[in-house]
Structure 1
Amino acid sequence: MSVITEYDSLLLDLDGTVYEGGRALDHVISAINGSGLPVMYVTNNASRAPEVVATQLRDIGLESAQASDVMTSAQAACQMAAEKIPVGSKVYVLGTDSFRDLAHVAGFEVVASADDHPVAVLHGHNQETGWAQLSEAVLSINAGAQYFASNLDSTLPMERGRHIGNGSMVAAVVHATGVSPLSAGKPGPAMFHAAAKTLKSTRPLAVGDRLDTDIAGGNAAGMDTFQVLTGVSGYYDLVFAIPEERPTYVATSLQDFYSDAASLRPGVQGGFTALIDGSTLVISGGASTATPVEALRTALAVAWSSTQTVTDVRADSPAAATALQSWW
């Protein structure tokens, strides 16, 4: 039975899962359009308004995408702030114009300077953020403003590679103030619960490329999780993953929505075997037609069920050595 038949909705990450730098990743369009399931795009990227994201999705071939199908961490941050401070409060938004618009819609007075005495700072990704904007945030927080972050992703996958993410900018503010923000985005479960509620979904599948946000968040929300190897987290990240960041399924791309569900779970595959020798995970065997991800799922079944800590991986057969060369 294919994965897609076991769920009633898809909660999809965007960067590194659906697209990269605005380009649709391989198999994404056919996989989503052919699923027949309601979809919510749940993204930690707070730099774009839901309407802009929906337009981008339509432009790459996801023609049914609407703003109501998008939930950004900026929306979640405004909701979180509304639970902590009174409506009408002054806030300083360290982010894009769309984030400021969302804060205004949420009932806040958006100010431009720490001199306006904001009671909160809302911090989201903006490619134009620089020293001056960060300094206004620091001055506000040092004067007593509460600190909210849309997300804490350290990097953002783009076509040229991993760029600085919001979490890295947040780290500068934390270093200057000693104050850590409340984060509204993944890996917290709130966005996943809100997305499922919007879709009236009782059995959603959380899909993403990043273990410490997408998968950890879906797991925290009590959902099954589907990891694709098209973005930030790779083969070795999975082997060394802590329990909270281990996905239900390991897939090469969204095309695996249509693969047998059992084949995507960690387990012996492709003629490979694995064992732990000290702190080394040793992979052996392997059929001539075996794939690197089959070696991975075989390795994960052993690594994740062991009480020993794995710090290294070694190949003990030609097929295993070939597979490991593709893990980088």
Structure 2
Amino acid sequence: MNGMLLDDHDVVLFDLDGTVYRGGELVPGALEAIQQVHGRGVPVRYVTNNASKPDQAVVDHLIGLGLKAERSEVSTSAQAGAAVLAEKLPAGSRVLVVGSAALESEVDRLGLVPVTEFADEPVAVVQGLSTELGYRDFAEACLAIRDGALWVACNADRTLPTERGLMPGNGALVELLRAATDQDPLVAGKPERPLLDRAVSSAGADRPLMVGDRLDTDIAGAVKAGMPSLMVLTGVNTPRHLLEAALGERPGSVAADLRGLFSPKSEVAIAAQPAWSVTVGDGLELASRGEGDELGALRALCAAWWSAGSGPVQVVGSDDAARAALRALDID
């Protein structure tokens, strides 16, 4: 493995919340890294499961944080959700919108008719995050879904990372309707393919790289789409989550933040590491055999455990350096 991770790819798909920013703050390293990607002439696409904002609002937010962005670079789960509906319904079909004005606008833009009440006889329900939703919205959707309406969820993220911490995401509200209807929605956003496929197609690319902080959406979506992925440790999921990741939620690389795009491929790849050895038995035993950082230890641990098992595992360090690395990773 020679060269930087970025060298192998003709578009980078960036998750936003927890990867590029947390609420109104850029995550460490994001500005420099994305500027460098642009500087090397590699297209970027911002793929967000947040369906509460129109694409222009996402652009404005990114520009306000100091980044360059254009509407063509933004793919939202609201767009993907509306596109799924448009593929399945004839033009003029009535769709009950449980979500923001941005989601309503996307439904209208694709020739469907947004409504807000069961009495309007909707043939489908589309659900996206909005902080203005109330009981009535879910009651109307519940009636429509129970009556046989097609149900599309823009995304299923149970939490949303902000500068204040994790907040309820659309997935938490999807669970409310799932419990009330005994039905499951079609999901347009990550980890399902519509959102990612749309982003790659818009760039005319065939060697994409997905970059994100969540195993169950960003990384699982990349796995389903058959594309490589880089996990960054700036958002929801932790080193412990990564080590215990299910088969369909495992990235090829992991880095502290977006600056990992410019690291040598061999340094960020989840693989055996020269500075660390891992013994697999009833658990994992980590030992130091040279100068190495804690992320190298994490990559070595993941490589060893993923080849032997999955799920929860106990990890111990056999020397001072190994124990220090495990404490830093919070997986001792």
Task: Indicate the larger mover: 102-111 or 306-315.
Answer: 306-315
Offset at 1:103? 0.6
| Residue aligned with 1:34, SS | helix
What's the CA shift string for 1:114-165, capped at 9, x where partnerless?
A: 1111111100011122212111111111222111000011111111111111
Matched, 1:274 2:281: no
2:286 corresponds to:
283
Q: Which runs of 5+ in 1 are unaligned?
A: none
2:61 alignment partner AA = Q
Matched, 1:138 2:142: yes
1:305 corresponds to:
307
1:16 corresponds to:
18
What's the CA shift string for 1:85-133, capped at 9, x where partnerless?
A: 2110111110001110111111111112111111111000111222121
What's the CA shift string for 1:256-286, capped at 9, x where partnerless?
A: 11110111112333622111222x1221225
1:169 corresponds to:
173
2:239 alignment partner AA = Y
1:195-210 matches, within 5 Å, as 195-210=199-214
CA distance in 2, matches of 1:324, 1:42: 32
1:4-43 matches, within 5 Å, as 4-35=6-37, 36=40, 37-43=42-48
Equivalent in 78, 85, 90 of residue 81 of structure 1: 85
2:58 corresponds to:
53
Q: Which runs of 4+ in 1 moved over 3 A?
A: 307-310
CA distance in 2, matches of 1:318, 1:130: 54
CA distance in 2, matches of 1:54, 1:127: 20
2:265 corresponds to:
261
1:251 corresponds to:
255
1:326 alignment partner AA = A
| Contact 2:159–2:172 (CA under 8 A) maintained in structure 1 | yes
Equivalent in 112, 116, 119 of residue 108 of structure 1: 112
Equivalent residue pairs, number? 325
CA distance in 2, matches of 1:220, 1:169: 24
CA distance in 2, matches of 1:306, 1:251: 23
CA distance in 2, matches of 1:272, 1:54: 42
1:33 alignment partner AA = Q
| Residue aligned with 2:104, SS | helix
Q: Which runs of 5+ in 2 are unaligned?
A: none
1:32 alignment partner AA = I
| Contact 1:190–1:221 (CA under 8 A) maintained in structure 2 | no
CA distance in 1, matches of 2:236, 2:274: 25
What's the CA shift string for 1:173-210, capped at 9, x where partnerless?
A: 01001111000011112222221111011111111111
Offset at 1:307? 4.3
| Contact 1:123–1:150 (CA under 8 A) maintained in structure 2 | yes
Task: Indicate the larger mover: 108-117 or 40-49.
Answer: 108-117
The share of aligned pairs that are identical, in percent, is 38
| Contact 1:270–1:291 (CA under 8 A) maintained in structure 2 | no
| Residue aligned with 2:308, SS | coil
Offset at 1:295? 1.0
Task: Indicate the larger mover: 89-98 or 262-271.
Answer: 262-271
Offset at 1:312? 2.0
| Contact 2:209–2:229 (CA under 8 A) maintained in structure 1 | yes
1:204 alignment partner AA = P
CA distance in 1, matches of 2:233, 2:276: 20
What's the CA shift string for 1:287-327, capped at 9, x where partnerless?
A: 4x532211101101101111476522222221122112222
Equivalent in 313, 320, 323 of residue 322 of structure 2: 320
| Contact 1:230–1:252 (CA under 8 A) maintained in structure 2 | yes
| Contact 1:286–1:320 (CA under 8 A) maintained in structure 2 | no
| Contact 2:97–2:103 (CA under 8 A) maintained in structure 1 | yes
What's the CA shift string for 1:49-101, capped at 9, x where partnerless?
A: 000001111111112x1111100011001110112221101111100011101
Normalising by structure 2, we get a TM-score of: 0.94
CA distance in 1, matches of 2:23, 2:323: 32
| Residue aligned with 1:168, SS | helix
Q: Give the aligned CA root-mean-square deviation in angstroms.
A: 1.4
Equivalent in 225, 229, 246 of residue 225 of structure 1: 229
Instruction: Label 1:202 to 1:179 Cα distance change in 2 as closer, same or farther (>3 A).
Output: same
